Amino acid sequence: MAEKLLLVDVDCGVDDAQAIMMALAQPTVQILGITCCHGNTAIDNVCKNVLRVLKLCNESKIPVYRGAASSFLGENVGMADYHGSDGLGGVPDPEAPALDCIQEEHAVTAMIRIVSEHIGKVSLVATGPLTNLALAVKMDPTFPQKLKGLYIMGGNMESRGNTSVCGEFNFSVDPEAAYIVLNEYSCPTYIATWEYTCRHKLSWEFYNDLVNQDTAKAKFMKKISAHSLKFSQSEQGIKELVSGSGFVPCDSFAMAAAVDNSIVKEYIECGVSVELSGKLCRGMMIMDYLDLLQKKHKAFVMKTCDIEKFKTLLRTALK
């Protein structure tokens, strides 16, 4: 059995695909299952996209489960076209696996079962809205205690938004789910926020070298990234970043930390929560630096990254 056991929950857009490929490329990592959630695109597209990535990587044996199709309150913050009409750049593959390859078991019950079969050994990596995770803890309050750790891409450190004024996309899509997870998960929790990913943006020169490797995986990534690349280099795309233009593979930062914990050089340890009220701040992650919330469980919010190690993981993913 591999050294690191992962369960991966995704809303499979381009950056989720990249994160999945990163984990699959590591011989010390075994993905026990991939659960799908609404977010970057509709749930059926998410499922199809995961199957497509697994086929490309010759890993179709990994089970894929269909999960939540909408947020707790059913609100629609807008499935942004950033990842294209289907979540993978709007460049479908007519030979991609069909939805009948999805497991019959629901994603949430699969999560509970898989983790219960490997108590204390599985790390859960969540790169989309946290709806499935919130449902899991409501169905089984002991679920978080059975995890080795939780790695989240989402939230923000300084109220910088990319979907609303103060809200990061994954948390803004389902604020109630994010609130439940940050307040009810007692396992070690590691968070790659929007600002963390932006502050470790990579150069476009690196991106070009990455996707121009002469491999099927690199060609696939270049093809599905073309749509979002145009927005990333636009005036609005640059405005959303913390400082200046660059390549920001958001979800891969959370996955990298789960794959190799030495990637993150520095954390901020403090209580965190999510704002559920207000016109401007709904969905914003709260960092309780003053410990006024008196939370026993503190999260580890990523602060600095070993960028060279991170680049190596990205390159290996596309070889």
pLDDT in tens, 211-262: 999 999 999 999 999 888 877 766 565 566 666 788 999 999 999 999 999 9
pLDDT in tens, 79-112: 567 777 898 999 989 899 999 999 999 999 999 9
Domains and CATH numbers, the chain: 4-317 (3.90.245.10)
What's the confidence (pLDDT) of residue 76? 75
- For 248, the token pair is 């920001």
What's the confidence (pLDDT) of residue 186? 96
DSSP string, 245-297: --B--HHHHHHHHHH-GGGEEEEEEEEEEE--SSSSSTTPEEEETT-TT--SS
- pTM for the complete prediction? 0.96
Q: Is pLDDT of 16 > 60?
A: yes
Indicate the average pLDDT of the chain. Answer: 93
CA–CA distance, 196 with 266 (Å, rounded to integer): 11
DSSP string, 89-137: TT---TTSPPGGGSBSS-HHHHHHHHHHHTTTTEEEEE-S-SHHHHHHH
Residue 177: its H or E element:
helix 175-184
Percent over 90 (pLDDT), the chain: 84
What's the confidence (pLDDT) of residue 84? 79
CA–CA distance, 312 with 290 (Å, rounded to integer): 37
Higher pLDDT, 269 or 227: 269
